[in-house]
Amino acid sequence: MVEDRKLAVLRAIVEDYVATQEPVGSKALVERHQLGVSPATVRNDMAALEEEGLIAQPHTSAGRIPTDKGYRFFVDRLTSLKPMSAAEKRAISGFLEGAHDLDDVVQRSVRLLAQLTQQVAIVQYPTLARSTVRHIELVALSTSRLLAVLILSTGRVEQRVVEVPLELTDDLLGELRIRTNAAAVGERIGEAAAALGELPDQVAPETTRTYAVVVAALVEAMSDHGSDERVVVGGTANLARFGDSFEMTIKPMLEALEEHVVLLKLLGEATSSSQVTVRIGAEGPYEPLASTSVVATGYGASDGALSSLGIVGPTRMDYPGTMAAVRAVARYVSTILDEA
Amino acid sequence: MVEDRKLAVLRAIVEDYVATQEPVGSKALVERHQLGVSPATVRNDMAALEEEGLIAQPHTSAGRIPTDKGYRFFVDRLTSLKPMSAAEKRAISGFLEGAHDLDDVVQRSVRLLAQLTQQVAIVQYPTLARSTVRHIELVALSTSRLLAVLILSTGRVEQRVVEVPLELTDDLLGELRIRTNAAAVGERIGEAAAALGELPDQVAPETTRTYAVVVAALVEAMSDHGSDERVVVGGTANLARFGDSFEMTIKPMLEALEEHVVLLKLLGEATSSSQVTVRIGAEGPYEPLASTSVVATGYGASDGALSSLGIVGPTRMDYPGTMAAVRAVARYVSTILDEA
DNA sequence: GTTGGCACTCGCGGTTGCGGAGTGCCAAGT
DNA sequence: ACTTGGCACTCCGCAACCGCGAGTGCCAAC
């Protein structure tokens, strides 16, 4: 079938270009892949593929390279994730095994992902939206200041120092502790914030203001880092391996990596899906990264996708391998979070 | 005085080279600075400076650039920190004002430092060694697991999940909580760990193992992140401004920035001193960074230097400005920590 | 629809040839 | 004892040039 061979040619071009990083010509193609046809035939196919906008030549009389559209086609139709080898699986679980902390899990995931894909890895902290309040602890610092500690089911801990208008006695502190915990523990942060918000009205008038400031701090701790989510980046050293134009790729990339808001936007699309999402070149929302791709997926405990992780690298990358690695890491991290 | 002029020439060379990033010749020098002598005279001085190893020429018949030794001389003898302008001071305190978290303080400091110096900024988390235990909280997760939360005077919070061999009752948990707090609160982590270590022997035999595992987790939380200190990096995008050779400077830098152990070593020398320390080029312990300099200083609450922060950049940098910025940020951060 | 042949294109690497900035040295001046 | 102008020399950087070779498109034959 002619159509079939054209696609085989596209696949071969993508694979060779990814491997060698050089435009690939018709002759080299038939040598490296068993297409069973002559270079001339391949040339005809290439002309057709170019017509369709799937490949392009950097200059007349050079080999072809895939266009963004070509990669898109390749990813969507010509590839299936290659499963991880047993050794790789062992490496992954081994790497994530020893984590005792939420911070630690995230940290290790980034490192792992960067190492596995040889790209720049990005991991978003588990979103708080779905997490519940595990415990609230209030510690007196002086007679007028206390430390409010908020412990969430994801293992995240937030803390705020609060100045209170009333002198802090043990009794008052105990009462605060009991009431805030009663109102919030076990609730999702949305409901917890609401329940806490009503507390000040339910207590003796002279303590209303005190309750109000403490509650305000807790609610702020919930919403603050809850919506303004954090990301961690790793494997920046892999930028050095890109060999791509510094100005075009590396510089904008470094700038983007500093802007966590941008990263969140890049990952954002993938958060909701447990599929691996691929954004190729200029498909994304952020122009400076027009010559890079993002491979990302949602992850999280079994009660629904909580957050996302992924990698960003040059459009010319090993999509099947990268996608498989991203998926594998996401799954393992999800399991770990489930256990905790 | 001839000696004086030679030093003026060295200073001029450093300043011009830092500004233009190009080898500076005798003619350009007399034009840009009022040296009051002819180019020929400057050439003689330059020859002398080269003799002493303070400057060098990249190739015959090019201008001169300072050597590491030249920079050293410049930093040690020819420069004094230029004080921050009022506007800069305001910017600094404004930037750090709104921080409510230890994480937040560190995060903001990195950003601030990176922005101020236009270099890559590194901030080490306040060391735990001198900090004291503020509170220990134990929360039951199930009948056999509890979450141990350790709150330190620096505002740092560590947490560990512990599997206990005994069924957890409220009584047991309360007892654990009271005893661990009694043993540890107010102590430096060294003493706290020691005091906690004796706890298991002082309780009813059937609870000894339970105490032991909880204490082990707490002690581990103290020592773990206490010795293996954490650092935060920011302003990587400034690498792009270096314009230096990618292979020589940027690549090893990216690699070093990933290796937090290396960064700690780089900052390490400065931790103990409240002076601003400058390490120029190959003076440092890490060969790949032979063409970069580190400007760092200790910072921390008034009870002694706790930690360190600084920047790393190309040897060709504005030392006076950078040193001033590093010192200013360190001071402000120290004040903030003192208040908390 | 496939294939071999052929003329053509064009980027890349190496070479060559200035121009200019900068130097070192020397002899003269203060 | 320094400083200075002059001068010959060096060598980098840049631009132009050239030839090679990979690769293409097209066509005529199968």
CA of A244 to C1' of D22 (A): 23
CB neighbour burial string for B304-319, b if at least 16 within 10 angstroms, e if fewer: ebbbbbbbbbbbbbbb
Across chain A, what does the average pLDDT equal? 88
The whole-number average pLDDT for the span A59-86 is 91
Task: Kindly tell me if the per-residue pLDDT of A236 is higher than 80.
Answer: yes
Q: Are B50 and B56 in contact (CB under 8 A)?
A: yes
More reliable by pLDDT, B168 or A74: A74
Q: Per-residue confidence at A272, pLDDT binned at 50, 70, 90? A: confident
Task: Kindly tell me if the per-residue pLDDT of A280 is higher than 70.
Answer: yes
pLDDT digits (tens, 9 = 90+) for A188-216: 888 899 999 999 999 889 889 999 999 99
Lowest mean pLDDT among A7-21, A140-154, B240-254: B240-254
Amino acid at A216: A
Q: Tens of pLDDT along chain B (340 residues)?
A: 678 899 999 999 999 999 999 999 999 899 889 888 999 999 999 999 999 999 999 988 889 999 999 999 999 998 888 889 999 999 999 998 877 777 888 989 999 999 999 999 999 988 766 778 888 988 887 888 888 888 887 777 888 888 888 888 889 988 999 999 999 998 888 889 899 999 989 888 888 999 999 999 988 888 765 445 788 999 998 988 876 667 778 888 999 998 888 998 998 877 777 889 999 999 888 888 988 999 999 998 766 657 899 999 999 999 999 999 999 999 999 988 877 6
CA of B35 to C1' of C17 (A): 38
A236 touches chain B (CB under 8 A): yes
pLDDT digits (tens, 9 = 90+) for A32-66: 898 889 999 999 999 999 999 999 998 888 899 99
Furthest-apart CA atoms within chain A: distance in Å: 91
pLDDT the model gives residue A129? 67
Q: Please list the alpha-helical segments (H only) found in chain A.
A: 2-20, 26-32, 39-51, 68-77, 86-97, 102-117, 170-184, 189-198, 205-227, 251-258, 260-271, 319-339
B103 touches chain A (CB under 8 A): no
Task: Kindly tell me if the per-residue pLDDT of A320 is higher than 70.
Answer: yes
Pick from A135, A149, A239: CB nearest B157: A149
pLDDT the model gives residue A1? 62
Q: Per-residue confidence at A126, pLDDT binned at 50, 70, 90? A: confident
pLDDT the model gives residue B162? 86
Q: Per-residue confidence at A305, pLDDT binned at 50, 70, 90? A: low
More reliable by pLDDT, B137 or A159: B137
Lowest mean pLDDT among A109-123, A245-259, B167-181, B188-202: A245-259
A303 touches chain B (CB under 8 A): no
pLDDT the model gives residue B304? 60
pLDDT the model gives residue A43? 94
Strand order in the sheet with A307-314: A231-234, A120-124, A307-314, A292-299, A276-280
B101 touches chain A (CB under 8 A): yes
The whole-number average pLDDT for the span A264-271 is 84
Strand order in the sheet with B231-234: B231-234, B120-124, B307-314, B292-299, B276-280
Distance from CA of B254 to the nearest CA of A (A): 5
DSSP codes of every residue in A94-157: HHHHT--SHHHHHHHHHHHHHHHHTSEEEEEPPPSTT-BEEEEEEEESSSSEEEEEEEETTS-E
Contact at CB, B240 and A254, closer than 8 angstroms:
yes
A30, two tokens: 């038939």
pTM: 0.85
The protein residues having a beta carbon less than 7 Å from any atom of strand C are A 2, 5, 37-38, 40-41, 44, 59-62; B 23-28, 39-40, 43, 46-47, 50, 57, 60-64
Secondary structure (3-state) at A313: strand
CA of A286 to C1' of C10 (A): 34
More reliable by pLDDT, B304 or A139: A139
Covered bases, chain C (protein CB within 7 Å): 1-5, 8-11, 20-26
pLDDT the model gives residue A12? 94
DSSP codes of every residue in B236-301: GGGGGG--S-IIIIIHHHHHHHH-HHHHHHHHHHHHT-SSEEEEEGGGSS-GGGTTEEEEEEEE--
